[in-house]
Structure 1
Amino acid sequence: MKLIARRIWLQVHLYLGLTAGLIFALAGLTGSILVFEHAFDENLNAEMMLTENRGELRSLGEITALAQQQFPELGHVERIAVPRTAENVYYVRFKAQSRGGKPSSTEVFYDPYTAAALGQRPERSGLIAWIYDLHARLLFGKSGRILMGVIALTVIISVITGIVLWWPLQKGGWRIAWGIRRNKLNFDLHKTSGLLMTPPLLLIAFTGVYLGLPFLVKPVIGIFSTETKNPQNVTSLLPATPTEPIGPDRAAQLAAEVMPGSELFFVHLPQRADDTYKVFVRQQGEVGRLRGAGRIWLDQYSGEVRATRDWNKFTFADTYYRIQLALHCGDAFGFGGRFLFFVVGFVPAALYVTGFLLWWRKKMSRRRQLQNRAAVQSGKSVEMSPLAAKLTAEKSSELESASN
Structure 2
Amino acid sequence: MKSPVKSFIRTIHLWLGLASGLVIVFVCLTGSILAFETELEHAWHPARYTVAPATTPALSLAQLTAAVQAYKPKAKISGFKVYADPARSVEVSLAGGPGGPGGKGGEGRKGEGERNKADAGRPAQGPAAVKGGEGPGKGGKGKGDGGGPRVYVNPYTGAILGEMNPRGNFFHTVEQLHRGLVAGKIGKLVMGVSASIFLFILATGLVLWWPTARKALTPRLKIKWGSGWKRLNHDFHIVLGFYASLFLFVMALTGVGMSFDWVGQSINKLTHSPLKRPEPPVSVVPAGQAQRPAKIAADAVLALARQQAPAAESYSLQLPKEPTGSIRVAVLRPGAITENATDEVYLDQYSGQVISGQTYAQRPVGQRIRGLFKPVHTGAIGGLPTKVLAFIIALLGATFPVTGTILWLNRIRKKGKKQPQLQAA
- Normalising by structure 1, we get a TM-score of 0.82
Which position in structure 2 is the counterpart of 1:291?
A: 340
CA drift at 1:351: 1.4
* Residue 65 to residue 236, structure 1, CA distance change in 2 (3 Å): farther
The correspondence for 1:332, drawn from 369, 374, 381, is 381
Are 1:236 and 2:283 counterparts? yes
The 5-angstrom pairing of residues 300-319 of structure 1 reads: 300-319=349-368
Are 1:322 and 2:365 counterparts? no
CA drift at 1:37: 0.9
CA drift at 1:87: 4.1
In structure 2, distance between residues paired with 1:109 and 1:259: 24
Which position in structure 2 is the counterpart of 1:266?
A: 316
* CA radius of gyration, larger in: 1
AA in 1 matched with 2:270: I
Are 1:30 and 2:77 counterparts? no
Are 1:190 and 2:237 counterparts? yes
CA drift at 1:135: 1.6
Deviations 1:259-310 (CA, angstroms, capped at 9, x unpaired): 675443421112333222111223466432x323432211112111123333
In structure 2, distance between residues paired with 1:141 and 1:59: 42
AA in 1 matched with 2:397: P
The 5-angstrom pairing of residues 326-365 of structure 1 reads: 326-365=375-414
In structure 2, distance between residues paired with 1:220 and 1:128: 29
- 1:72 is paired with a residue whose SS is coil
In structure 2, distance between residues paired with 1:31 and 1:52: 33
How many residues align structurally? 374
Which position in structure 2 is the counterpart of 1:10?
A: 10
Are 1:151 and 2:194 counterparts? yes
Which position in structure 2 is the counterpart of 1:76?
A: 76
CA contact (8 A) 1:281 1:293 kept: yes
Are 1:166 and 2:209 counterparts? yes
CA drift at 1:229: 4.0
- 1:266 is paired with a residue whose SS is strand
CA drift at 1:84: 6.0
CA drift at 1:54: 3.9
In structure 2, distance between residues paired with 1:220 and 1:230: 14
In structure 2, distance between residues paired with 1:233 and 1:178: 54
Which position in structure 1 is the counterpart of 2:325?
A: 275
AA in 2 matched with 1:355: G
Output the aligned Cα RMSD.
Answer: 3.0
CA drift at 1:334: 3.3
> Between the two proteins, what is the percent identity of the paired residues?
26
- Structure 1 unaligned blocks of 5 or more: 378-395, 397-404
* Residue 5 to residue 266, structure 1, CA distance change in 2 (3 Å): same
CA drift at 1:246: 2.0
CA drift at 1:258: 5.6
CA contact (8 A) 1:170 1:177 kept: no
Q: Which has the higher helix share?
A: 1
In structure 2, distance between residues paired with 1:118 and 1:284: 27
AA in 2 matched with 1:306: I
Which position in structure 2 is the counterpart of 1:131?
A: 174
- 2:28 is paired with a residue whose SS is helix
AA in 2 matched with 1:76: K
In structure 1, distance between residues paired with 2:32 and 2:203: 23
In structure 1, distance between residues paired with 2:264 and 2:96: 35
- 2:236 is paired with a residue whose SS is helix
The farther-off stretch of 19-28 and 191-200 is 19-28
In structure 2, distance between residues paired with 1:276 and 1:71: 25
CA contact (8 A) 1:230 1:309 kept: no
- Structure 2 unaligned blocks of 5 or more: 108-140
- 1:222 is paired with a residue whose SS is helix
The correspondence for 1:222, drawn from 269, 278, 283, is 269
